[in-house]
Structure 1
Amino acid sequence: MRPRTICLAAAAVLATAATWALTPPAANAATAGCSVSYRVTGSWQGGFQGDIGITNLGDPLPAWSLGFTFPTSTQKVTQAWGGTATQTGAQVTITNAAWNGSLGTNATTSIGFIGSWSGSNPAPASFTVNGVTCTGGTTTPPTTPPPSTPPPVAGPAPALKVSGNKLVTPDGTVVKLYGVNRSGGEFACIQGNGFWNGPMDQSSIDAMRAWKVRAVRVPLNEECWLGTPDVPAAYGGAAYQNEVKAYVNLLVRNGITPIVEMHWNYGLYTGTSSGCSDVKATCQKPMPDAQYAPAFWTGVATAFKGNDAVILDLFNEPYPERATGDATSGWKCWRDGGTCPGIGYQVAGFQGLVDTVRATGATNVIMIGGLAYSNDLSQWLTYAPADPLHNLAAFAHIYNFNSCANTSCWDSQLAPVAARVPLTLTEIGENDCAHGFVDTLMDWADAHGVGYLGWTWNTWDCSTGPSLISDYDGTATAYGQGLKAHLARVSS
């Protein structure tokens, strides 16, 4: 994803999903608890009306989000009042209205709704409010360490290689990549605003480690690395390269796996879903260019060869099918490059870029995404480049506004890839400052042995970023709280 404060996504690019609005519980709340009543107040063939009562038994809540799962896949909430309802599969989330968000201790509120069903209409078995299961009692959650107290560093990030569908260390330990993206290196330099966006120092990494972040994806700009005339001299070439190498090495020393990726590249593209009309590397292009991309990857691979703790991500979000006109021609362009219909510059295909990296002697794991802004992996296994080292991994980007944004699509498109090669969701997020969507996505990923990285560790408006933090000390946004809580459970 490119920063939306820099370049707004075209409406035609992405399928719009329903808006979520989940508000997390306050960190380290003294007590939490709730009770919920659910009743059907009217029923007819194929439809029903219901009422849900919520009582907050814990500390006062400034906002609330009710969650439950229908027992059957045919049950749907079609309309609600007293709250905003959204549904993915059988999972329902209802967030407060503007007038009833505040619930004091023992305060109650109610939600009315219309639903549909077929076959049977059983009541949900369990409910949560702000992620807390409603048992009719209260709990006192354990106190968590403040963000300024990261866990001790166990050692540098390990060298990684591909073994079947897993990433493993030299001793065979399986590693899943859990972490965040650190945006800035792809745009600040070419805009003349420095190398990065926000601090890239030890203190900022300590804040990440306090979240149990174990992987950081570092987006780069092709022209800044190469120091082309389009880049202010102070922020390009050797100066930029030294900044990148220093940050990547700092991550490794802190036990964090860096994923170095080419985000923005040179090439004029004004066709379908174009992000900009600029030939410069100032927006997302449909594919890497043959003019500069091989030189970029020769330089990056040379810089990090011999350090297999660093993963090389060849390109952020390909979308050649938007230019070529269909998926088949898009996948061929994706793999082979050359002259691709609808793209006005010569394309560097991923087979050629894999060959470029390996020609340097670099043995690092290489990651490659799919079509549709890395949201479509349907033919990834069919068109995957050949790697003489058999050290390729796949990645996908999943947002609530993508086309592949539900469990049925993940089961059909992602799961087969994850069964054959290591798969990481290197960008996940939602554009509503909530975390209901990513919670569901992370649960799916956990069940399939798939890692994930949230977009992004930057202090932007979470609805336009989206952004995980509101301060570089690690203060989570409402959206970021979902990833933070999940990493606390699954990351080592």
Structure 2
Amino acid sequence: MAHPPRRRRLQALLAGVVALLTLAGLWTATAAGAAAAGCKVVYTIGGQWGGGFTANVAVTNLGDAINGWRLTWAFPAAGQSVTQAWNATVTAAGANVTATNVSYNGSLATNATASFGFNGAWNGSNPVPTAFALNGVACTGAPTTSSPTTPPTTPPTTPPTTPPTSPPAGNAAETVAAMQPGWNLGNSLDATGSDETSWGNPRVTEALLDGVKAQGFKSIRIPVTWGQHQGGSPSYTIEAAYLARVKEVVNWALADGFYVMINVHHDSWQWLNSMPGAKARYDATWNQIAAAFRDSSNKLVFESVNEPQFSDEGQSENYLDQLNTSFHTIVRGSGGGNATRLLVLPTLHTSADQAHLDALSTTIQKLNDRNIAATVHYYGYWPFSVNIAGTTTFDATTQADVNGYLDRSAAAFTAKGIPVILGEFGLLGFDRSLDAVEQGEKLKFFEYLGYYARQKNITTMLWDNGQHFDRTGLTWKDPELYAQMKASWTTRSGTASTDQVFLAKSAAITDKTVTLNPNGTTFAALKFNNADLVRGTDYTISGDQLTLKASLLTRLAGARDYGVNAKLSATFSAGVPWRITIISYDTPTVTAATGTTSAFTIPATFRGDRVATMEAKYADGTNAGPQNWTSYKEFAYTFLPNYTAGTVALTPEFFADVNDGAKVTLTLHFWSGAKVTYYVTKSGSTVTGTLQ
């Protein structure tokens, strides 16, 4: 996503198939700062589906400290590729893959581990790689086991080894219900740089929290990353100034009346994934957090860890059980308000895969504590969420994915009296471009998700890393999206099959029909500039079919300038109106161009139209470019239209997986239904674009 350190996995699609490969070896130093010793690589396939998979790679430096690393490997099978990565910069030339560190994980001390993940594609088979090289030297032997500093086997303050025999008083379901709706202060105190502004957001202020409160939110999740503000073993002392800053922001939020949830956030992949060795540090961290907030308001909520993940995938559920159990014991044992404070426990990866739900359910039953809630995260059905494989609309499959995800969560927990918090939700495509999902389809997703979560008594917390609520102007960057989401907290809103009606400028205007989705409401009126249009004259209603008359469209189109000519509002008996935009267009045109694999754009005259998706194929009909299990490429990852500049950019990631010398046929699909064909040929780093 747009903020490099933020990770997203395809949790809704993971089949739970795990393949684990551990390679270790001796290597001779070739890079500055590296000395002869060894390295270990753990390559884990976290999930696999038809044509796609997700993987995690952990590389451990068993030699002297190095500053800057580069891991290389070759995929064993044709058709395997990396499509999206996090926590590393990943490039490929055919089957050969290179992953290099990013700014925040380039230094590897002895026995330190750096982890990164990626989404990949496969065709035919998906075997794990069999050889890796670190900084150009192969890992070929057995790993060493020595460590320059052996961490203690117990935390500085050893908690009791068993949970309380009787559960503390409290009503978790009541508390979680009161937290609805919630908002995330993302990419601020969880930033892994030197301070809370290092990922591009302004310093948190009281005014910001006041502004969020005014939007109707009842709870605020404040993700906190602690690792870069901690000393070494055995105490792992949190910097006093940083802890004081976290307390300041928490206290501001509590003073505003929020329920506040804090956690251990990006530590999950920075150091906590190296369990079991990281447990002493985890325990020390929570001992300090628990002590610092022991006497805070009972509206403060603790979440054990964000999106837990572990290098040893085969032990992941066991490690998470250990962490959640230890967290519970430490917090409850610290007394004060912590004895009855609501505690929130995640599933592995905060996924609603059934196996992960079952494992967490077992942990919660063991703890025998009525003040516990479960948490999962949801970013939608992946093809829709990132706009790939031709899934451009909120279709039946996408809706069914919402249902399944929340149904499983409710059955595993809420049906048993354990409340569920959807601790993060949104769309994955937002992290590359807010245009990745078309506006109306985006609105339908948020409308339905809010409604269905409400039916399942699941509290929702919007993920916002600065992309939604402007933290300086204190206004919504997309007021329409906010209005739709806010309405979903209490009611349903009517929608329609589309929010766009296209009028071809080169043709006569005719009646246009849109299918209404009342969603349990009743159609009330069709308005233009807040004035009611005349039913029977300007439009007709027959069942769920709204027909806009040619006479109305002619009047609204006026001179028929390209682009938006008018905006209508279909109002219903409840919820927010549905906007229908009237657009004049002609089929877009493109022109020939030259460029490079690092900077190539197709000159385009859009003539009022907008790009829905793009296909890429070779002359023999096989799929070209990344994610070659589908001809439809991922929006913003492989191509990105710029309507102001009049271009469609093809990314370096797209050309990295294009055969040299082969002509690729691109088909640009537009929302009007128009299609435009264009051809590109890569020759080394040079790209030529033609019309035939």
CA contact (8 A) 1:367 1:392 kept: yes
> Which of the two has higher C-alpha Rg?
2
Which of 195, 205, 213 is the matching residue for 2:217?
213
What does residue 357 of structure 2 align with? Answer: 378
TM-score normalised over the length of structure 2? 0.39
Q: Does 1:298 align with 2:287?
A: yes
**Pair 193,353 (structure 1): closer, same or farther in 2 beyond 3 Å:** closer
Is 1:352 aligned to 2:326, yes or no?
yes
Identity of aligned residues (%): 18
How far, CA to CA, are the matches of 1:486 and 1:161 in structure 2? 32
Aligned to 2:183: 180
- Please name the residue that 1:393 is paired with: 373
Cα drift, residue 330 of structure 1:
3.5
Give the distance between the partners of 2:407 and 2:182, measured in 1 at CA. Answer: 23
Within 2, Cα distance between the matches of 1:482 and 1:207? Answer: 19
Q: Contact 1:167–1:175 (CA<8 Å) still a contact in 2? A: yes
Residue in 2 aligned with 1:439?
447
Q: Provide the secondary structure at the position in 2 that maps to 1:412.
A: helix
8 Å CA contact 2:189, 2:195 repeated in 1: no
Superimposed CA distance per residue, residues 391-412 of structure 1 (whole angstroms, 9 cap, x where no aligned partner): 2111111111469942033213
From 178, 188, 193, the equivalent of 1:190 is 193
Over 3 Å counting, the alpha-carbon distance change for 1:205 and 1:335 in structure 2 is same
- Structure number with greater CO (CA < 8 Å, separation at least 6) is 1
Cα deviation 1:367-396 (Å, max 9, x = unaligned): 011123344353122232644653211111
Are the counterparts in 2 of residues 182 and 216 from structure 1 also a CA contact under 8 Å? Answer: yes
- CA–CA distance in structure 2, aligned partners of residues 385 and 319 of structure 1: 22
Alignment of 1:310-329 (within 5 A): 310-320=300-310, 323-325=312-314, 329=315
CA distance 1:408–1:287, shift in 2 (3 Å): farther
Per-residue deviation, 1:489: 6.1
The aligned runs of 1:50-61 (5 Å cut-off) are none
C-alpha change, 1:209 and 1:187, in structure 2 (3 Å) is closer
Equivalent residue, structure 2, for 1:454 = 462
The Cα shift of 1:415 comes to 3.3
**Post-superposition shift, 1:353?**
1.6
Query: Are the structure 2 counterparts of residues 413 and 11 from structure 1 closer, same or farther at C-alpha, using a change threshold of 3 Å?
Result: closer
Match of 2:402 among 393, 406, 416: 406
The 8 Å contact of residues 12 and 378 in structure 2, kept in 1 or not, is answered as: no
Task: Give SS of 1:208's match.
Answer: helix
- Opposite residue 421 of structure 2, the aligned amino acid is T
Matched residue type, 1:258: V
1:427 partnered with 2:424: yes
TM-score (norm 1): 0.53
Asked if the contact 1:264/1:285 (under 8 Å) is kept, the reply is no
Select which of 274, 293, 309 maps to 2:299.
309
CA–CA separation in structure 1 for the residues paired with 2:404 and 2:299: 34
Give the strand-richer structure, 1 or 2. Answer: 2
Matched position secondary structure for 1:426: strand
Q: Contact 2:12 / 2:405 at 8 angstroms: preserved in 1? A: no
Which residue identity is paired with 1:359?
Answer: G
Q: Which amino acid aligns with 1:204?
A: L
Which whole-Å CA distance do the structure 1 matches of 2:458 and 2:256 have between them?
23
1:245 paired with 2:222, answer no
CA displacement at 1:178 relative to structure 2: 1.2
Task: Write the distance in 2 (CA, Å) between the matches of 1:168 and 1:11.
Answer: 29
Change in 2 beyond 3 A, CA 1:7/1:176: closer
Aligned partners of 1:227 and 1:238 also within 8 Å: no
* Contact 2:290/2:334, CA 8 A, preserved across alignment: yes
State whether structure 2 residue 177 is matched by structure 1 residue 167: no
- Measured after TM superposition, the shift of residue 472 of structure 1 is 4.5
Query: For the structure 1 residues 226 and 292, does the alpha-carbon distance in structure 2 shift closer, same or farther, using more than 3 Å as the test?
Result: same
Asked if structure 2 preserves the Cα contact closer than 8 Å seen for 1:454 and 1:483, the reply is no
User: How many angstroms does 1:11 deviate by?
Assistant: 6.9
The answer to whether the 8 Å contact 1:368/1:394 transfers is yes
Deviations 1:181-223 (CA, angstroms, capped at 9, x unpaired) = 0023454353456588324222212221221011000111122
SS of 1:291's equivalent in the other structure is helix
The alignment of Structure 1 onto Structure 2 pairs a total of residues equal to: 299
- Return the offset for 1:429: 0.7
